[in-house]
Amino acid sequence: MKARVVVTGLGVCAPNGISLLGFCESLKNGVSGIEFNPQLAELNFGCQVSGTPKIDTKILNKYFTKLELRGLKSSGLMYGVIAGVEAWKDADLYTDRTGEVDWETGVVFGTGILGVDKFREAIHLIDDKQTRRLGSTSVIQTMASGISAFLGGRFGLGNQVTTNSSACTTGTEGVLMAFDRISQGKAKRMLVGSCSDSGPYVWGGFDALRVLARNSNAFPEKASRPFSASATGFVPGSGAGALVIESLESALERKATIYAEVLGGAVNSGGQRNGGSMTAPNNKGVQRCITTALKEAGVSATEVDAINGHLTATSKDPVEIMNWSEALDRKGSDFPYINSFKGIFGHCLAASGSVECVGTLLQFKEGKIFGNINTEDIHPEISQIIAKSRIPHKTIELKPKIIAKASFGFGDVNACVIFKSYPD
């Protein structure tokens, strides 16, 4: 028999909060973390707003030693360590750095690209023939697996320590990688998450593609508009989310707090065929991912109470709603409640799946479905498929039993995970 798998710890470093409490309050009350970004304006970006976690030296000193901070420029690494440490603490796990290796615990912590600012510094120093000034931490800051290696070393983890990278599906995919390892008995617990650097060197390519919001620079809090007819593109965001996932047996044995059970899910690709491309989904692939996730989780479509969608505030939002409706065979007022947290903190790219999984799981704890902001004008193609009441503007009181969380990314890749309340 496969082991049952649960979530026992959450951590976040997001534009709308770097503590679980602040993050949760923002989602409950619809308080935006998106602000005007002077650096983007100075660089003549079309989009001059962003979602960036607010961290300073005082905060960094809580998570890094003075030696670790020397030459530290990788914002993604900073965000990931903050989220990972907070999830570890939230799970009430050990913090002794000098203890024995924990052979039963591992890390899956993903990223899209790590240490862009450190790369930039390296290019200038090397071109100026000052390679020796790069410092001893330049490698760990710029290798993709630097974040998982850092956290694995912080906690002495001896099981699988690895990094995945699947564009915007990275964080959700990582949850399922950890689920598979634990359910098969190959690990007792895993620290899982994803992170994304912030700044113009990450976001510039998207601005050049003209997929970023360009018409709301004077109104940052209104810029990110999932579901909306007036959406003009996504708002770039950054940060990290982290979860401690472990076997139910282990959680019960140590009397851990359990946020929810992970029932399973699915990961696939549309193959960039039949309408799918590097930037657009193959609808059959998306629908297949959702239906396969439900099958693997042993859940019927009628049991899904709520969805946390990918929903980036682009022209693909109506397409995503259509895919959910087709996959679940539900529409109108029969459609589950659905939300997108990107209206509050933007699109955190590789970090989006993990940050949004944290928000999704907090809904179980709170007994609520968090509302959506900037949805005064639901796109007519969406309202033709589902009732507007299924896209709550305000947080509603509802104890969800089953929530589906999905992410869809560049390269026509998809991931969907099914969470269930615990206990039943």
pLDDT of residue 332: 98
> pLDDT (tens digit, 9 = 90+) per residue, 190-239?
999 999 999 999 999 999 999 999 999 999 999 999 999 999 999 999 99
Q: Which of 76-80, 99-103, 333-337 has the lowest mean pLDDT?
A: 99-103
List beta partners, residue 251.
none
pLDDT class for 119, splitting at 50, 70, 90?
confident
Average pLDDT on 324-329 reads 98
pLDDT of residue 118: 79
- For tokens 């009397």, what's the residue? 255
Average pLDDT on 300-324 reads 98
The answer to whether residue 248 scores a pLDDT higher than 90 is yes
Q: For residues 321 and 309, what is the distance between their CA atoms, to the nearest angstrom?
A: 9
Q: Could you tell me if 78 and 55 are in contact, meaning their C-beta atoms sit under 8 angstroms apart?
A: yes
List beta partners, residue 418.
264, 404
DSSP string, 390-411: GS-SS-EE---SEEEEEEEETT
The answer to whether residue 128 scores a pLDDT higher than 90 is no
The answer to whether residue 65 scores a pLDDT higher than 80 is yes
392-397 CB contacts, 8 Å cutoff, 24+ apart: 392/337, 392/339, 394/30, 395/27, 395/28, 395/29, 395/30, 395/368, 395/369, 395/370, 395/371, 396/337, 396/368, 396/369, 396/371, 397/367, 397/368
Number of domains in the chain: 1
Average pLDDT on 101-123 reads 90
The answer to whether residue 364 scores a pLDDT higher than 90 is yes
pLDDT of residue 121: 80
Q: How many CB atoms lie within 10 A of CB 174?
A: 34
The answer to whether residue 115 scores a pLDDT higher than 90 is no
Q: For residues 177 and 221, what is the distance between their CA atoms, to the nearest angstrom?
A: 35
Copy the structure tokens of residue 421. Answer: 């309340």
Give the H or E element holding residue 415: strand 413-420
CA nearest neighbour of 285 among 167, 406, 126? 406
User: What HEC string does 42-66 produce?
Assistant: HCCCCCCEEECCCCCHHHHCCCCCH
Side-chain-side CA neighbours of 146 within 13 Å: the count stands at 27
pLDDT of residue 102: 95
pLDDT of residue 99: 80
> pLDDT (tens digit, 9 = 90+) per residue, 136-172?
778 888 899 999 999 999 999 999 999 999 999 999 9
Strands 5-13, 239-247: parallel, antiparallel or unpaired by DSSP? Answer: antiparallel
Q: Could you tell me if 390 and 293 are in contact, meaning their C-beta atoms sit under 8 angstroms apart?
A: no
pLDDT of residue 123: 77
Average pLDDT on 314-342 reads 98
Q: For residues 133 and 123, what is the distance between their CA atoms, to the nearest angstrom?
A: 12
Copy the structure tokens of residue 112. Answer: 């899209």
149-170 core/surface letters (b: 16 or more CB in 10 A; e: else) = bbbbebbbbebbbbbbbbbbbb
Give the H or E element holding residue 138: helix 138-142
pLDDT of residue 194: 98
- For tokens 């399973």, what's the residue? 264
φ, ψ of residue 355 to 5 degrees: the values are -60, -40
Taking CA atoms, 328 is separated from 108, 288, 300, 302, 416, in Å, by: 30, 11, 9, 7, 13
Instruction: Look up the CATH number of the domain holding residue 257.
Output: 3.40.47.10
Domain that holds residue 308: 1-424
> pLDDT (tens digit, 9 = 90+) per residue, 68-80?
998 899 999 999 9
Q: Which amino acid is at 108?
A: V
Q: What is the mean pLDDT of the chain?
A: 96
> pLDDT (tens digit, 9 = 90+) per residue, 389-419?
999 999 999 999 999 999 999 999 999 999 9
CA nearest neighbour of 408 among 228, 261, 288, 240? 288
Q: For residues 61 and 75, what is the distance between their CA atoms, to the nearest angstrom?
A: 14
Q: For residues 223 and 343, what is the distance between their CA atoms, to the nearest angstrom?
A: 8
pLDDT of residue 351: 98
Q: Is the pTM of this model over 0.75?
A: yes
Number of residues in the chain: 424
Q: For residues 151 and 228, what is the distance between their CA atoms, to the nearest angstrom?
A: 39
pLDDT > 70: what percent of the chain?
99
Q: In what order do the strands lie in the sheet with 306-308?
A: 161-162, 105-111, 189-196, 239-247, 5-13, 260-269, 413-420, 402-409, 306-308, 337-339
For residue 21, how far is the Cα from the chain centroid?
A: 17
